[in-house]
Amino acid sequence: MRYYYFNPFNKQYYFPEGYEQYPIFAKFYQPYKVIAVLFWKIWQSSSVFRKLFSTNHPERVLPLDHLKEFVTPCSILTFNLGTTGIEKKISVLGVERSSDTKFYIKYATSDLASRNVFNEGNVLKQLSHLTFVPKLQLCILEENRFTLIKTTVLNGTKIKYHPVDEKILNILFTLSNQKILSIREYKSNLVNCFAHGDFCPWNMLMNNGNIEIFDWEMAGQYPLGYDLFTYIFQFDFLVKETMRFKLIIDDNINVINQYFTFFEINDWKPYLKEFSDLKLKLEMKKNNHELIKPYLQLKEFVSDI
């Protein structure tokens, strides 16, 4: 089967021939920046253009043969090979054509990525009672080989950005009450709670006015406010590419106060400091240059307020 790749320069996303028949595949990639949005529209609208960036031998780059063990023969799959780095894994969105059943797979082979994917499977199993998370169908760990999880697919549309409101706050309050065992334990001398760990718009969907959340591999115990501050700062850092620390805080001061008042905490500044310290350490560990600089500068800013 022919596969088309996007974008042509880094070949991260692979779409199977005939993917246009399944609208969900077009939602697999969500561009945020203007240039990416325009290029994505051109790529989707022109079959001639797509053929310039295609391969008849996808098995050379995609684990098609291995994944056949975990899907039905009539399944059609699209791939996100992930961003380069020590935590790189493959994400797969699939449709079982005979029943139109949709499923999602994460597949990792490196030690660290396998550990992260297994953590997500373990967390999802414990969060099965929540309505805004995908349901775990399969979790396989074969040491020194691979880790794979398979889940249901959430039904909403991806969020470009959603301001922190009562819906977001209620999700944060709900997560803070969960008693979850995880390999991620970033506890501090402050109040700690369970958190998603990568609480950003691109990991959320809107479904009939309700927010749904996926990508739980970073979930675990964090200092209180970790998810809230991630949501507030990271969109500006990565999408808007700005580091307007004071303005970001001023724009969100009401929800910050509302959040910490819920937990009967009057001074949230120590939590912002703890957040910036931990974020910087985690991004440095991943060698994530996009976020090291902004979180380093945020840490310096927080030390002065």
Per-residue pLDDT of the chain (305 residues; tens, 9 = 90+): 899 999 888 899 999 999 999 999 988 998 878 888 999 999 999 999 999 999 999 999 999 999 999 999 999 999 999 988 888 999 999 999 999 999 999 999 999 999 999 999 999 999 999 999 999 999 999 988 999 999 999 988 888 889 999 999 999 999 999 999 999 999 899 999 999 999 999 999 999 999 999 999 999 999 999 999 999 999 999 988 888 999 999 999 999 999 999 999 999 999 999 999 999 999 999 888 899 999 999 999 998 88
Q: Residue 160 and residue 181: Cα distance in Å, rounded?
A: 31
Q: What is the pLDDT of residue 87?
A: 85
Give 89's strand partners. Answer: none
Q: Give residue 82's pLDDT.
A: 92
Cβ burial, residue 195 (10 Å; 0-12/13-18/19+): buried
Q: Tokens 């597949």 — which residue? A: 107
Instruction: Pick the closest to residue 271 from 259, 288, 281, 286 (CA basis).
Output: 259
- What secondary structure letter does DSSP report for 7? S
Alpha helices by DSSP H, listed for the chain, are 23-26, 34-45, 47-51, 64-67, 111-126, 166-176, 226-235, 245-262, 269-286, 289-302
Are 301 and 221 in contact by the 8 Å Cβ rule? The answer is no
- What is the token pair recorded at 220? 């675990």
The strand pairing partners of 76, in sequence order, are 95
| Whether this model's pTM surpasses 0.85 | yes
The set of long-range contacts for 171-178, using a CB threshold of 8 Å and a minimum separation of 24, is 171/132, 171/211, 171/213, 172/199, 172/227, 172/228, 172/259, 173/262, 174/130, 175/227, 176/224, 176/263, 178/126, 178/127, 178/130
Q: Which residues contact 186 (CB under 8 A, 6 or more apart)?
A: 192, 220, 221, 222, 223, 226, 278
Alpha-carbon distance of 292 to 221, in angstroms, equals 22
Which regions of the chain carry the CATH code 3.30.200.20? 3-152
How many alpha carbons fall within 13 Å on the CB side of residue 98?
Answer: 5
**Sign of the CA dihedral with 279 first, then 284, 288, and 289 last:** positive
Distance CA 143, CA 108 (A): 11
Residue among 133, 135, 160 nearest 214 (CA): 133
Annotate 188-220 with DSSP letters as a single string: -SS-EEEE-SS--GGGEEEETTEEEE---TT-E
Say what the pLDDT of residue 204 is: 96
pLDDT at 286: 87
Distance, CA of 187 to CA of 127 (rounded, Å): 20
Superfamily for domain range 3-152: Phosphorylase Kinase; domain 1 (3.30.200.20)
Strands annotated E in 52-191: 54-55, 75-80, 90-96, 101-108, 136-142, 146-152, 157-158
- pLDDT at position 121 is 98
Return the DSSP state at 173: H
